[in-house]
A = this chain, B = another copy of it.
Amino acid sequence: MVPHLTTSLTGPLLALEKQIIDARPAIERWFRLKWTEHTVPFYSSVDLRNAGYKLAPVDTNLFPGGFNNLNPDFMGLCVQATMSAVQKICPDTQRFLLVPENHTRNLFYLQNVATLKRILEGAGLTVRLGSLIPDLTGPTEVETAGGEKLLLEPVQRKGNRVGLDGFDPCAVLLNNDLSAGIPGILRGIQQSVVPPLYAGWTTRRKSLHFHAYDRAAEEFAKLIGIDPWLINPVFSQCGKVNFAVQEGEECLAANVDAVLTEVREKYKQYGIDDTPFVMVKADAGTYGMGVMSVKSPDEVRGLNRKERNKMAVIKEGLPVTEVIIQEGVRTVETVNNSTAEPVVYMMDSYVVGGFYRINTERGVDENLNSRGMSFSPLAFATDCHSPDCGSNPDAPPNRFYTYGVVARLAMLAASLELEKLAEDFDEMAEPEAVTA
- A residues bordering B, Cβ < 8 Å? 24-29, 32-33, 35-36, 72-77, 79-81, 83-84, 86-87, 91-95, 118-119, 121-126, 349-350, 380, 382-383, 385-388
Contact = CB atoms under 8 A, between A and B. Distances in A.
A158 to B, nearest CB: 22
A121 B33 contact: no
Contacts of A29: 91-94, 124
B388 A121 contact: yes
Given A124-B25, A349-B83, A350-B80, A119 B385 contact: yes
A35 B83 CA distance: 12
Contacts of A380: 76
Contact of A28 (B26, B123, B388): B123
A72 B119 contact: no
A385 B80 CA distance: 11
A279 B11 CA distance: 65
Contacts of A382: 72-76
Query: So how many copies of this chain end up in the complex?
Result: 2
Interface centre among A81, A83, A124 (most CB of B within 10 A): A124
A159 B253 CA distance: 65
A91 B349 contact: no
Contacts of A79: 385
B385 A75 contact: yes
Contacts of A126: 25
Nearest 7 interchain pairs by C-beta: A28-B124, A122-B385, A121-B386, A32-B91, A25-B94, A29-B94, A25-B126
Contact of A25 (B24, B28, B32, B95): B95
Contacts of A125: 25, 28
A74 B77 CA distance: 9
Nearest to A74: B76
B118 A386 contact: yes
Given A25-B95, A28-B123, A77-B76, A83 B388 contact: no
A386 B127 CA distance: 11
A122 B75 contact: no
Nearest to A388: B121
Nearest to A87: B32
A86 B383 contact: no
Interface centre among A73, A80, A123 (most CB of B within 10 A): A80
A380 B27 CA distance: 30
A276 B48 CA distance: 63
Contacts of A350: 80, 83
A194 to B, nearest CB: 15
B72 A385 contact: no
Given A25-B94, A95-B25, A121 B76 contact: no
A383 B72 contact: yes
A23 to B, nearest CB: 10
